[in-house]
Amino acid sequence: MLQLHSFEFSPIQENTYILYNEHKECIIIDPGCYFEEERNEMLDFITAHQLQPKLLLNTHCHLDHVFGNKFIAETYGLKLHIHELEKPLLEYAPVSGLKYEIPFEKYIGDLLYLKEEEKIQLGEDELKVLFTPGHSPGSISFYCQQQSFVISGDVLFQRSIGRTDLPGGDHATLLKSIQEQLFTLPENTIVYSGHGFKTDIGTEKRLNPFFK
Ligand SMILES: [Zn+2]
Ligand SMILES: [Zn+2]
């Protein structure tokens, strides 16, 4: 059984997620911790719950989702898992950091590539990789069928969808990803997004203005 904890980090107000099990193993998804106090907040949570970080994952590699990759990887000896199509974005992220005057140090370790439909295991628990491009070329979502939730990155938000005006974004592709990969999940599936509040698939199918 996975427990989920979320933090809201950085001037871009990004949601960082920690999933942890009863064996105190955890997965860190999109560490957006930017300021030192945000990094400390993550460490304090992990220490207080005596967690052992096992996996570092990114839904995609826009700067707000990767600020803390280097710090988490080096602190816990982890390698970064992304979709291969996100590699150029990961490399570009520090450049856009300079452009937006939010500079940061980039992750320089090995990259491990996640594939569509791949299963990620943490103890007895499992996440499935859903390929959900459109907001960015290699955006992926992490679906836990057993506990009916999906971590959707910037693909689907409460009553909104990800922007598609950044390099590699494509509106039609994003709509297709949501229709085919997310709206086909059970309606009670909770959606934990990269920004803002959580929602669920049924509510978004009914009320999301992009699907009227
Ligand atoms: Zn994004
Ligand atoms: Zn974002």
Q: Render pLDDT for 159-191 as a digit per residue (tens, 0 to 9).
A: 999 999 998 999 999 999 999 999 999 999 999
CB 159 within 8 A of CB 208: yes
Low-confidence ranges of the chain (pLDDT < 50): none
Ligand nearest to the CA of 163: 1
Q: What mean pLDDT, rounded, does the chain reach?
A: 98
CA geometry: angle 18, 64, 36, nearest 5 deg: 70
The Å distance, Cα 135 to ligand 1 centre, comes to: 7
Q: What is the pLDDT of residue 212?
A: 83
The Å distance, Cα 67 to ligand 1 centre, comes to: 12
57 CB contacts (<8 Å, ≥6 apart)?
27, 28, 29, 30, 80, 81, 82, 114, 120, 142
Token pair belonging to 32: 């957006």
The Å distance, Cα 65 to ligand 2 centre, comes to: 6
Distances (CA, A) of 121 to 6, 20, 102, 128, 133: 20, 12, 34, 9, 23
How many Å apart are CA 54 and CA 25, to the nearest integer? 6
How many Å apart are CA 104 and CA 102, to the nearest integer? 7
Token pair belonging to 79: 């390698």
Q: What is the pLDDT of residue 113?
A: 98
In 36-157 the beta strands, taken as DSSP E runs, fall at 52-57, 80-82, 111-113, 119-122, 125-131, 140-144, 149-153, 156-157
Token pair belonging to 59: 């839904």
The Å distance, Cα 171 to ligand 1 centre, comes to: 13
The Å distance, Cα 110 to ligand 2 centre, comes to: 23
The Å distance, Cα 62 to ligand 1 centre, comes to: 5
Look-up of token digits 């979709």: 83
The Å distance, Cα 49 to ligand 1 centre, comes to: 29
Predicted structure pTM score? 0.98
Which residues are found with C-beta within 5 Å of the ion, ligand 1?
A: 62, 154
Ligand nearest to the CA of 195: 2
The Å distance, Cα 93 to ligand 2 centre, comes to: 12
The Å distance, Cα 62 to ligand 2 centre, comes to: 6
